[in-house]
Amino acid sequence: MRTSLSRPRVAVLGGGVIGVATATQLARRGAQVVLVTEAGLADGASGRSLSWLNSFGGMRSEAYHHLRLLGIDRYRTFAARTPSFDCLKFDGGLTWAAPGEESHRVAFEHMRRNGYDAVWLSRDEVPQWAPGVNPAAIPDEGAIFNPGEGWVDLVALVQHLAGEFTEAGGVVLAGGGAAGVVVEGGRAVAVRTGAGERIDVDAVLLATGADVPGMVRPFGVEIPDATPQALLVRTKPVDTALRVTLNTPRVALRPAPGGALVMDSDASAAEVIGHADGSYEVKHSTVEQLLREATAVLAGGPQLELDSYGVGRKPIPGDGEPVFGELDEVAGLFIAFTHSGATLALIAGELLAEEITTGERSPLLAAFRPSRFR
């Protein structure tokens, strides 16, 4: 998209962290922005994300790794400029593999070669680096500690950014039902809300999470989709010294505001039953097992009680890499479809807003264009 308009009109569809972050950046750049959400803010994947800020491991492309590092950098800047925001922590991440697996040793060597801060810990060293973790849960091989990693509460972040967005002149249309894009002459010219209202614009960003592939398919665009279902469990407040984000073979967990813990696992998500009407069924036994797994990795084995859980789809592109940028098939229609939305949100919002307002494509997003699937 190239425009000479000094104040382009932009609609952002999606109230998750990437949509709100991009809308905020657009408003800061002087665009006239309307943020349209199907339901409430952060009611989708952003509301049920572990939101581990990291670039752990070595299975992604160099460009993706670099973008994630930039994402973490933007969070550190945000933390420095917004000291009152207490829902963002950089207390590190601790992870280990199942006994006998070599995957973590390979990942560790890769991280060390690429300058990603990583320390290999023995079982006896873990309490010093990660208080609150049960040393007996650590395998004989040890664990990896990444001092630069952290977590963010995305619901709190979305609310904070939405406040900045409206202060900058942005308009939020929340709870309007499923919106769509109006295309005329090969260009996105408007959005139509679930209530039927037409909003004329110069550009549209689709940041609707797992719905993005289906929303662009009518325009002849196929985005490979590996979206699974996800389950995030939140406990009642618990007395624990845990500060790090834990990723173990059977459970991943982190502290949450108010003294709670949040947790998930691939095994628990696989037990969720999806129904044809789009609803989900979560077994009591699934939640109880996840709570037991979390208790086992915490020092003192505290009794964990369920507070709530969130279930739904977790957006993941088919090749695992982000999909960012303007569609070749529809001028002015931009998309954001990615895993690791928490880590990437601030940097992605910045880069997408710059592209939308200037028409200049960022080299940092070159590897992630939708056109790579053509």
235 and 219 belong to one structural domain? no
**246: domain range?**
93-147+228-313
Q: What is the mean pLDDT of residues 51-62?
A: 91
348 belongs to a structural domain: yes
For the segment 26-46, the average pLDDT, to the nearest whole number, is 96
Residue 213 lies in a domain: yes
The percent of the chain in helix, strand and coil, each rounded to the nearest 5, is 35, 25, 40
Overall number of domains in the chain: 2
Question: If you write DSSP's letter for every residue of 235-287 in order, what string do you get?
Answer: EPP------SEEE-SS-EEEE-GGG-EEEE-HHHHHTPEEPTTS-EE--HHHH
| Same domain as 234, residue 141 | yes
What would the pLDDT profile of 186-225 be if each residue is shown by its tens digit? 999 999 999 999 999 999 999 999 999 999 999 999 999 9
Give the CA distances from residue 327 to residues 18, 220, 341, 359, in Å, rounded to whole numbers and listed in that order.
Answer: 18, 10, 20, 13
**Whether residue 2 has pLDDT greater than 70:** no
308 lies in a domain?
yes
Amino acid at 13: L
What does the pLDDT look like over 322-362, one tens digit per residue?
999 999 999 999 999 999 999 999 999 999 999 999 999 99
Reported as a pLDDT band with limits 50, 70 and 90, residue 4 is: very low
What is the per-residue pLDDT across 221-279, written as a single tens digit (0 to 9) for each? 999 999 999 999 999 999 999 999 999 999 999 999 999 999 999 999 999 999 999 89
Confidence of residue 1 (pLDDT cuts 50, 70, 90): very low
Residues of the chain above pLDDT 70, percent: 99
Task: List the Cα angle 136/140/143 in 5-degree steps.
Answer: 80
| Residue 5 predicted with pLDDT over 90 | no
Residues 219 and 338 in one domain: yes
Q: In angstroms, how far is CA 167 from the centroid of its own chain?
A: 24
What's the whole-number average pLDDT of the chain? 96
> Looking at residue 290, which CATH number applies to its domain?
3.30.9.10
Check which CATH number belongs to the domain holding 176 and give it: 3.50.50.60
